[in-house]
Amino acid sequence: MVPSTTYFVSKTDSFDYSEMCGGPLLGEASRGSTGSQGSGGPRTRPWHDFGRQNDADKIQIPKIYSQYGFKYHLETPISTNQRREDDRVTYINKGQFYGITMEYIPDPDRPLKAQTVKSVVMLMFREEKSPEDEIKAWQFWHGRQHSVKQRILDADTKNSVGFVGCIEEVAHNAIAVYWNPLESSAKLNIAVQCLSTDFSSQKGVKGLPLHVQIDTYEDPRDGPVIHRGYCQIKVFCDKGAERKTRDEERRAAKRKMAATGRKKIEELYHPACERSEFYSMTDLTKPPVLFTPAEDIDKLTSMELQGFYGHETDTSSEKKDDTLTTDGSVFSTPPIKRPKMIPPLNERVMLYVRQESEEVYTPLHVVPPTTTGLLNAIENKYKISASSISNLYRKNRKGILAKIDEEMLTYYCNEDLFLLEVRHSEESEDLLDIILVELPEL
């Protein structure tokens, strides 16, 4: 899986992305957000100067069309002002929650190997830039927010259904969910907290098109992306999406009244649809750019835990970039430090446990994340012989008692809080049962 990257970039009051548009893209054929491609050379337009100018200037994203596989829908109507040769566009309001329905139609030629899959829902830029430039765009937006805790993409966990375990905040612009596509569909409610016009200090510019992108992994711990879908959106404020939709409906009505020629005018445009279907991309290999600001204390705290595992990377290589702002002054970014690498969950899991008489939690480093690894961790920290432990149980907050197995440890226990109870086993007075009672988050 692709880790998010934290860039340390100082805040600025003004920034002009036209200064960054002359550089080449990552790959000669790349287009659009992650996984998007086209056939032209590097784009030289400013980010805020997006418009439908000519065929050569359009963003073309190779797609897969199939009646099988993963299907996603954003539960709001599409724009009726987009021509059929262009991608559909959906207008949404900043801060308003919209449902995303996730479904799976079994493919007889490629059955799923696992019951539980992981889907990462992200907000991406349609017009591709280098990862550094995309991070600068997010940092520019983040520097204008009232709180460092402000996220780009939010999830309404209470009204989201069909998922296994917790909804994870992977980055400020990404959310991860686990679900069983063979059992039922799932629905995630998301809200986008940035406007399409938030990425330029100039007034009156056109809004930047964005993508809601979903990457799905068959193996939640690691492995390649098996499906990547996207829905193009533009984000408005103060119910602007509804106003834009009404304006386009009036425009469509005028087109019909003024229609001439043998081809009906409405056939040139995408037909009205009450929900926005995601396109499926062909490119599944390009890593997404995930944004986690350095100012986010919670993220930094979790990142510092990496030092426990000795997976530190070399931070001696530093990068400095000077970019001109709109008033001609130089916006200088401090050296960018490479973050430490968190080991994947198939290498380790960490649990925080304490006994009834203890006030301080003890970290249990479960390496590897198996029952044997958990037995060894308990033996090392609590001096309870692993050979004397008969059963390992977990009791969740609903009071359900279940035996702990490898799958539970790997997917559903990382960094959870537990009360450790030791009882004599019913099988033998010489053996012990260990019960991890799940505690609410602090």
Q: What is the CATH number of the domain that holds 179?
A: 2.60.40.720
Average pLDDT, the chain: 76
Query: CB under 8 Å to 199, separation ≥6 — which residues?
Result: 17, 47, 48, 137, 140, 141, 208
Cβ distance 106 to 89 under 8 Å?
Answer: no
Structure tokens at 285: 């290999």
Strand 117-125, strand 210-217: pairing: antiparallel
Q: Please tell me whether residues 132 and 263 are part of one structural domain.
A: yes
Query: CB under 8 Å to 103, separation ≥6 — which residues?
Result: 70, 71, 72, 73, 181, 185
Q: Please tell me whether residues 381 and 285 are part of one structural domain.
A: no
Domain of 378, CATH number, reads: 3.10.20
pLDDT band at 419 (very low <50, low <70, confident <90, very high): very high
Q: Please tell me whether residues 254 and 397 are part of one structural domain.
A: no
Range of 69-83, 126-140, 277-291, 366-380 with top mean pLDDT: 277-291
Q: Please tell me whether residues 232 and 367 are part of one structural domain.
A: no
- pLDDT for 276 beyond 50: yes
In a domain, 296, yes or no: no
For the chain, the first-to-last Cα distance in angstroms comes to 29
In a domain, 55, yes or no: yes
| Number of domains present in the structure of the chain | 2
Return the ∠ at Cα 121 (arms to 152 and 345), rounded to 5°: 105
Domain boundary among 291, 312, 332: 291
pLDDT for position 336:
44
- pLDDT for 345 beyond 80: no
- Lowest pLDDT segment from 187-191, 239-243, 428-432: 239-243
Strand 389-395, strand 432-438: pairing: parallel
Q: Which residues pair with 417 in a beta bridge?
A: 352
Query: CB under 8 Å to 420, separation ≥6 — which residues?
Result: 353, 354, 355, 378, 382, 434, 435, 436, 437
> What would the mean pLDDT of 420-434 be, rounded to a whole number?
89
Q: Please tell me whether residues 155 and 42 are part of one structural domain.
A: yes
In a domain, 2, yes or no: no
Cβ distance 109 to 118 under 8 Å?
Answer: no
In a domain, 74, yes or no: yes
Q: How far is CA 141 from the centre of its chain?
A: 17
> What would the mean pLDDT of 66-93 be, rounded to a whole number?
89
Give the up-direction half-sphere exposure of residue 123: CA atoms within 13 A in the CB hemisphere.
28
* CA–CA distance, 212 with 154 (Å, rounded to integer): 12
* CA–CA distance, 49 with 208 (Å, rounded to integer): 8
% the chain with pLDDT above 70: 71
In a domain, 387, yes or no: yes
pLDDT for position 252:
75
Q: Please tell me whether residues 367 and 268 are part of one structural domain.
A: no
* CA–CA distance, 78 with 58 (Å, rounded to integer): 19
Query: CB under 8 Å to 400, separation ≥6 — which residues?
Result: none
Greater pLDDT, 126 or 36: 126
Q: Please tell me whether residues 280 and 377 are part of one structural domain.
A: no
- Lowest pLDDT segment from 63-72, 80-89, 182-191: 80-89
Domain boundary among 291, 317, 340: 291
> What would the mean pLDDT of 338-351 be, rounded to a whole number?
61
The sign of the dihedral angle between the CA atoms of 108, 111, 116, 118 is negative
Structure tokens at 208: 């930047």
pLDDT for position 54:
54
Cβ distance 340 to 307 under 8 Å?
Answer: yes
Structure tokens at 153: 């993409």
Give the up-direction half-sphere exposure of residue 353: CA atoms within 13 A in the CB hemisphere.
23
Q: How many helices (H) and strands (E) does the chain have?
A: 5, 21
Q: Please tell me whether residues 73 and 163 are part of one structural domain.
A: yes
Burial class (CB in 10 A: 0-12, 13-18, 19+), 202: middle
- pLDDT for 34 beyond 60: no
Q: Which of 300, 302, 308, 311 is nearest to 340 (CA)?
A: 311
Q: Please tell me whether residues 373 and 263 are part of one structural domain.
A: no
Cβ distance 395 to 437 under 8 Å?
Answer: yes
Q: Please tell me whether residues 269 and 388 are part of one structural domain.
A: no
In a domain, 319, yes or no: no
Containing 179, the helix (H) or strand (E) segment is: strand 174-179
In a domain, 304, yes or no: no
In a domain, 308, yes or no: no
Q: Please tell me whether residues 122 and 254 are part of one structural domain.
A: yes
- pLDDT for 47 beyond 70: no
For residue 238, the enclosing domain spans 17-291
Q: Please tell me whether residues 83 and 229 are part of one structural domain.
A: yes
